[in-house]
Structure 1
Amino acid sequence: MTTFGAIGIAGTGLGVHRKWLDAVADNLANINTVRSTDEEAFRARYIVAQANATDGGADGGVHVAGAVYGSAEGRLVYEPTHALADEDGYVRYPDIDMSSQMTQLIMAQRGYQANAGVIDRARDMYSTALTIGRN
């Protein structure tokens, strides 16, 4: 693998981790989104990453293969004073677990930082190689 290959692979990792961070941030921002019981709950989004195919020794990397969405059922909560409550006093919240989302947030953040570090080190290595070549 060349220096440019390392930068390219780490760049694909940055893209996937950014999408993952966006999805987790969206899920956390909507964790308390209330809907009436006749509507669907906010559906959490989960990113699916897939390795890029390598043909003939070409550099790999990853890409976002798609997204999987959580349950539209959500969870029913008894809040009779809420403006959206049905005749039985229930409203619908998304079925999102805060601790799971925070764990995913930390993992995505660490992955993003690791890929950014690879790009920085590869760039420094390339700059050093150019400097040595000038002398």
Structure 2
Amino acid sequence: MMPDAIGIAATGLGLHRHWLDAIADNIANVNTAEPTSGAAFQARYVIAQAGPGTSGVYVAGAAFGSAIGRVTHDPGNPLADANGNVRLPDIDLGSQMGQLIMAQRGYQANAAVIDRAQTTYEAALQIGHGA
């Protein structure tokens, strides 16, 4: 039973790590300007899916935000068009920060499950060893 808990929590760690990576990319590129003739940076969102039975969770894929983004007036930008506009990603920094907190807490919770299950498993081995 304990190895199952460790394995399931490990799948949660992997999922949350991918989620944290996507959020970090989104936050890092929130102000990435592109020419209006091109596509904006597209935010990445991790799609999670439950494994069969009780085998944990895994990354089923990714969804991407709009390539249209938002056009902003920034005449000092070297990528600005003749009207002084650039294309920025349509990323809500507040939403990304909220997701960051949830992903961090999920990662921490799964790490705690692994730690406690491992400690319990080792204690059970010691009980059997002393008998």
How would you bin the TM-score normalised by the shorter chain?
over 0.9
Identity of aligned residues (%): 61
Deviations 1:45-69 (CA, angstroms, capped at 9, x unpaired): 0000000012xxxx32000000000
Corresponding position: 1:24 with 2:4:
no
User: Any stretches of 5+ residues in structure 1 without a counterpart?
Assistant: none
Show the counterpart of 2:47. Answer: 48
The answer for the alignment partner of 2:88 in structure 1 is 93
Indicate the SS of the match to 2:124.
Answer: helix
List, as ranges, runs of 4+ consecutive aligned residues in structure 1 with deviation greater than 2 Å.
Answer: none
CA shift for structure 1 position 81: 2.1
Amino acid at match of 1:28: I
**Residue equivalent to 1:34:** 33
Paired with 2:101 and 2:21, the residues of 1 have a C-alpha distance of 13
State the TM-score, normalizing by the size of structure 1. Answer: 0.94
Corresponding residue number in structure 2 for 1:10: 9
Task: Give the TM-score taking structure 2 as reference length.
Answer: 0.97
1:118 maps onto 2:113 in alignment: yes
SS of residue in 2 equivalent to 1:12: helix
Work out the number of aligned pairs and report it.
Answer: 130
CA RMSD after TM alignment = 0.7
Q: Unaligned stretches of 5+ in structure 2?
A: none
The 1-side partners of 2:83 and 2:125 are apart by 72
